[in-house]
Structure 1
Amino acid sequence: MFRSHTVDSAPAASRPLMEATIAEFGQLAEPVARLAESPETLDGFLHASHLFESSTLDPLSREVVVMTIATRNGCRFCVTMHTGRLRKLEAPAEMIKALRAGEPLEIERLEALRQFTARVLATTGEVPDEEIEEFLAAGYTTRNALEVVLGIGTYTMSTFANRLVNVR
């Protein structure tokens, strides 16, 4: 139903976004090719993703947030792609396995982040103060808490869109 666009077949407003993605990553990822059908959706995801990547959360923490969302939302492509990112970050194999299974992490700080992310999702942001305090006690900041929300928004959009357009 949803076609996989090339730069030539995509709507005009999606073409510069696709070209920028190719320039940055050396190829056109399937989600980008399919999301190109809606320049607004593609631009929204790419912009939000860039903002999340520039947050004060370190790269490994960002990947914990993304994997927590991807596994919860059942986005196989996202889980596979972000498993690759975790490997590039030299994350321990046990950590990758736990994230893929939605299980507790051995690294306490990252487990606090995983739990906080899951709790924000489960409560649609209405996290009890004591649980926010636990997150802060693990070494994160109130800014980080809001950056988790940014990650949730970004990757909920991504996982839902990827599932809608049937990206495998």
Structure 2
Amino acid sequence: MKTFAVPTREQVSETNKAIFDNLKKAIGMVPNLYATMAYSENGLANYVGLQSGKTSLRAKEKEAVNLIVSQVNGCTYCQSAHTVIGKMNGLTDDQIIGIRKGGASFDAKLDALVKLAKNITENRGKADSALVDNFFAAGYNEGNLVDVIILIGDKTIMNYLHNLTDIPVDFPLAPVI
């Protein structure tokens, strides 16, 4: 299989250079997986637009979905990145491991979200009706469900990109569970 190198700023289009500069200014680095998207003239801008869109989900909820989807899809890169980001959003190491194992016993509402996101990802959008009912019973609404689906799609894009390219992980590696 082809080996993928992480493109440098000098190797990408002017549009992607500007995005690299914005990422470096905002977070202090251009994560390797974002840089890899810059192989595409439009891919990185399209993805950043998707990822930075407004959502009804809180930061901790987004990270819970990112963690469980990345676990289901077997993406070491995203498990590692979202372990760091999850901690920045108030999740503990034990909570992150619990989420990656498929639940959030420390928070009933978050638990309903994690279980549904896991089931949707595993079943390619065909969720168990009891989990959908539990999601709504936990206090989520139809708009939240749409936002969960968008987030699953967002994370699946990056999971698949890393799983295919296997570019180096530039975050502390998440524990294997």
Contact in 1 for aligned 2:7/2:36 (Cα 8 Å): yes
CA offsets, 1:38-97, max 9 Å, x none? 13222222111112xx20101111011100111111111111111111111221332112
- Which ranges of structure 2 fall in alignment gaps of 5 or more residues? 170-177
Contact in 1 for aligned 2:67/2:96 (Cα 8 Å): no
More moved, 139-148 vs 23-32: 23-32
Are residue 56 (structure 1) and residue 51 (structure 2) matched? no
Are residue 166 (structure 1) and residue 166 (structure 2) matched? yes
- The structure 1 residue matched to 2:14, chosen from 12, 15, 38, is 12
Contact in 2 for aligned 1:5/1:36 (Cα 8 Å): yes
Percent identical residues: 20
Cα drift, residue 165 of structure 1: 1.9
Over the aligned positions, Cα root-mean-square deviation in angstroms equals 1.7
1:42 is matched with: 44
Cα drift, residue 19 of structure 1: 1.7
Cα drift, residue 103 of structure 1: 3.6
Moved over 6 A (4+): none
Kindly tell me: are residues 25 and 70 of structure 1, through their superposed partners in 2, closer, same or farther at Cα, counting changes over 3 Å? same
- Which ranges of structure 1 fall in alignment gaps of 5 or more residues? none
Aligned partners of 1:94 and 1:115: how far apart in 2? 17
SS of equivalent to 2:42? helix
Q: How many residues in Structure 1 have an aligned counterpart in Structure 2?
A: 165
Could you state the TM-score of these two structures normalised by the residue count of structure 1? 0.89
Letter matched to residue 140 of structure 2: Y
Kindly tell me: are residues 59 and 87 of structure 1, through their superposed partners in 2, closer, same or farther at Cα, counting changes over 3 Å? same
Cα drift, residue 127 of structure 1: 2.9
Contact in 1 for aligned 2:72/2:122 (Cα 8 Å): no
| Larger proportion of helix | 1
1:89 is matched with: 89
Letter matched to residue 126 of structure 1: K
2:29 is matched with: 27
Contact in 1 for aligned 2:102/2:114 (Cα 8 Å): no
More moved, 28-37 vs 5-14: 5-14
SS of equivalent to 1:8? helix
Contact in 2 for aligned 1:45/1:158 (Cα 8 Å): no
1:149 is matched with: 149
Could you state the TM-score of these two structures normalised by the residue count of structure 2? 0.85
Aligned partners of 2:16 and 2:89: how far apart in 1? 30
Cα drift, residue 128 of structure 1: 4.9
Cα drift, residue 151 of structure 1: 0.4
1:74 is matched with: 74
